Structures are given as C-alpha cells and as structure tokens.
Amino acid sequence: MSSYWIQAISFVAIFIALAGSLYLQSSIGGITNFGIVGFFGVAMYLYTIFVVTLAMPPLLALLAVVGIVFVVALVLGRVILDLGPQSILVATLAFATIIRHLATVLEGVTGAAKGIGTVKMPWDFEKTSDEKILFMVVLIVLAAIVLLYAAKIKKTPYGRLMLSIKDNEVLSESLGKATLNHKVIYFAFTSAIIGLFGALTAPIYTYIFPHFILADVTFVVWIALLLGGRMSVWGAVVGIAVTKFLFDYGIESVLSAFQVRMGPAFGAMWPNIKLALFGAMLIAIFMFRPNGIVSRKREGSLQ
C-alpha cells in the first residue's frame, strides 16, 4: 500500500471518529459543539509538546493529553452547558478560536507559524511504512470502538438519560435526573475522545502548524454528519466516507489521472470541479433526503 493511501485511510479513520464523537454530543446529548477543532487542536499541540519538547514516552503523553482535555472540557462545560443551544454554539466556537490564536502567538511553546516537530510514530520499526501501517490499523480499531460505543449507547440506561435530556431537559430533571452534571461529564468524556484523535493526528502530520486547526475541521465533521444523517451513527460514517474519502481522495485520484492525459490547464480547473461536484451533491441530498443519506422514516426518532 502506498504512503498516500495509508495517510488517506488514517485521516478517514480520524474523521470518522470525530464524526462519531459529534454524533454522541449532538444527536444523543443535544450539545451543539462548534469547537471540535479546539479540543482536537489543543490535544494535537499538547501531545507534540509532550513528546518533542519534554521527551515524554508517547503512551504517557497520550494519557496526559486525554486527561487534560477531559478537565478542560469539564471546566468549559460547567460554564456553558447551562446556557441555550445558540450560546453553547458560540462559546465552543470561541474556545476553538482562542486555541488557534494561542497556537499562533505562543511562539516559544508552539513554534507559531514556523511550526513544531518532528513528531515520530510511537514505535520504531526497520521500515517506516510498517510503522505507518500499524498506526493506521490502531486508528481504525480506535475509530471502530467509538462507532460501536455510539451505536450501542442508545440502548443503555445512560443513553436513554442523555436522549431524555436532549429532548426535554426540564421533564428529565423532574424525574430526578441531575441533568447539568450529566451533561458536563458527558461533554468532557466525548471531548476527551476528540482530544485522543487530535493527539493521534500529530504523528501523521509530523510537523504541526496553526493552519492545521482552522475551523474547516469542525465544518467538515458537521457537514459529514448532516450529509450522512444525524439520526444514526452510520450516517456519520457515510458522511465522512463521502466528504473525505470520495471527494478528498477518491475523486482527487481520478481527476489527477485526467490531468495527466489532458494537461496542466485541466489541473488548474479540477479543485473547482471538485467543489462544484460536492456542492451539487449537497443540494441533491438536501432536496431528496433532507434527513441525510442514512435517514429514518420517523423524523426526530433515534429508534
């Protein structure tokens, strides 16, 4: 397998896990997190600083990063989750903006625009490709665990609790459920999952720059979830398969082959062709399947 496809599959696994986490937050917990890239970015930078600057062992660094992201989300959640959905959206978006700003200005810590690296794979094999393949397999396994968790949670007492909070928080409270506490812990836990995958992105990039944590990471995950269908975790998988795999890698590969045949003029056009195709598909899906590709008969139902 070529390096290109190893990296492509690794990123798809990461984004599937992010979409799965967003499904958990948004579709199960009713938390509108527009700051996914904030948790993703803070984890990516912290992991890099821990293993590169502080020379910590990768596993220890990973555990520390996930723990820190959990605590950060716990504090942020306690402050914002009592607010309305729009306020949560703005607050999480602001959090992500602050993280990116810090990554840009704290030159002594993050390297700012010059970047920080080099982040190596957590293991050392003779062949670099073997290291990357094993890392890709680990990412696929971890993403699969997130998806299985997301698929199973609806049928657990905890899943029913979170769905009840999403649907009608006051009614849930009147049944004796400490809704704010549950929301805060759930937000911290699911944000820690986002952090885990943020940290694991660092060895793929090897060198970390602030432009890796732009808001488009959040937008891609949200578009994927809406495209696939936010009522099922498999919608998130389909959405990422379409946005990342089909468009970022699949169509890119096909168009690259065309470029070889048709010359550089076509090469200049194909990013726009790709965007046009993506836009056309979005319109078609919102017109004909407004609940997403993997939609259910009953609108609003998660059964």
Partner 1 sequence: MSSGKVIHLKNVVKRYGGRTVNDINDKVLGECGIEGLIGPNGAGKTTLINLISNKISLTEGQISFFKDGTEIDISKSSIDKLSRLGLVRSNQIIQDFDSLTIMDSMLLSLAASKQERFYKLFGDKKARKMAEEEIAWYLDFFHFNNPNGHADSAGEKKLLDIIRCMMLKPKYALMDEPTAGLSEDQTQRAIELMKKRTTEEGMRILIVEHDLDLIWNVCEKIHFMSEGKILLQGSPEEIKCNEMVHNKYIGE
Can residue 186 be called a binding residue for partner 1 (CB under 8 A)? yes
Closest Cα partner for 238 from 182, 156, 162, 295?
A: 295
By CB under 8 A, name the one of 127, 155, 261, 297 that touches partner 1: 155
Segment interacting with partner 1 (CB under 8 A) among 12-20, 177-185, 243-251, 273-281: 177-185
Can residue 234 be called a binding residue for partner 1 (CB under 8 A)? no
Can residue 297 be called a binding residue for partner 1 (CB under 8 A)? no
Question: Which residue, 87 or 156, is less far from partner 1 as judged by CB?
Answer: 156
Segment interacting with partner 1 (CB under 8 A) among 13-21, 146-154, 202-210, 278-286: 146-154
27 C-beta neighbours (distance < 10 Å), count: 23
By CB under 8 A, name the one of 84, 108, 176, 264 that touches partner 1: 176
Interface size with partner 1, residues (CB under 8 A): 33
Rounded CA-CA distance 201/205 in Å is: 6
Can residue 257 be called a binding residue for partner 1 (CB under 8 A)? no
By CB under 8 A, name the one of 64, 173, 245, 282 that touches partner 1: 173
The nearest distance, CB 159 to partner 1, in angstroms, is 9
Closest Cα partner for 213 from 24, 12, 25, 35?
A: 35
Q: Are 19 and 221 in contact (CB under 8 A)?
A: yes
Task: Kindly give the residue spans of alpha helices, DSSP state H, lying in the chain.
Answer: 3-22, 36-48, 58-80, 85-105, 107-110, 128-153, 157-167, 169-174, 179-205, 216-228, 233-240, 252-262, 264-288
Can residue 287 be called a binding residue for partner 1 (CB under 8 A)? no
Can residue 157 be called a binding residue for partner 1 (CB under 8 A)? yes
**Own/partner pairs, 144-148, CB within 8 angstroms, 24+ separation:** 146/16, 146/17, 146/20, 146/21, 146/193, 147/16, 147/17, 147/20, 147/233, 147/236, 147/237
* Contact footprint for partner 1 (CB under 8 A): 149, 152-153, 155-158, 160-161, 163-164, 166-168, 170-179, 182, 185-186, 189, 298, 300-303
